[in-house]
Amino acid sequence: MGIIEIILVAVGLSADAFAAALCQGLCFPKFKLRFAIGVAFMFGFFQAIMPLIGWFLGSGFREYIVHIDHWIAFALLSILGLKMFAEAQKTAPSEAACPVRPSFSQILTLSFATSIDALAAGIGFSVIRIDLFTVVTSIGCITFALSLLGVYIGSRFGSRFKTKAEIAGGAILIFIGIKILLDHLGVLG
């Protein structure tokens, strides 16, 4: 996996966190940097740690699945992408309303929930050759930056971009899954 693919995967995986951060920004009509950094840190941390956990879980099975590893990576990334498409279609505009300020435990739970996809991606990463440190660091940093941006946009412009972010993230993950499959089958390169 090259640096462009790593960045695209990181952006794709961070789309859920961006959308959630956007919604958190709705709770603060005036942008609060301290809150935004806290939200971005939580999302970035969980998005970075979950693929690492997934990689370790998947590594235990690597020797048994080496002959179908490219199909597994393709399937996991495609399923995640399709799931993001479906979630984008289900989102109702009223969900963006924020009745109360979010608590630390709510943000912690949301950070964990939006990173489940990254856990599955980490399992997929375990069957392909990657620089794990670069992938995990990229996912964490990009998620942090996009989440910070999400809180800012949410506080300034509302929830107009949530659905578009989820659709774009899903498309990126499906694209990377197809590329991994085609690379392994010798169609590309």
Q: Report pLDDT for 51.
A: 93
Query: Residue 94 — pLDDT band, cuts 50, 70, 90?
Result: very low
Element of type H or E holding 171 = helix 162-184
Out of 2-6, 37-41, 118-122, 127-131, give the one with best mean pLDDT.
37-41
Out of 71-80, 96-105, 127-136, give the one with best mean pLDDT.
127-136
Q: What is the mean pLDDT of residues 130-150?
A: 95
Please check whether residue 115 is in contact with residue 47, taking contact to mean a CB–CB distance below 8 angstroms.
yes
CB atoms within 10 A of CB 164: 12
Q: What is the mean pLDDT of residues 94-112?
A: 70
Q: What is the mean pLDDT of residues 67-93?
A: 74
**Residue for token pair 């959308």:** 19
Q: What is the mean pLDDT of residues 41-62?
A: 91
Above 90 in pLDDT, residue 174?
A: no
Q: Report pLDDT for 61.
A: 75
Is the whole model's pTM more than 0.75, yes or no? no
The chain-wide mean pLDDT, for the chain, equals: 82
Q: Report pLDDT for 53.
A: 93
What's the Cα-to-Cα distance from 157 to each of 19, 25, 26, 125, 127, rounded to whole Å?
13, 9, 8, 36, 41
Above 60 in pLDDT, residue 97?
A: no
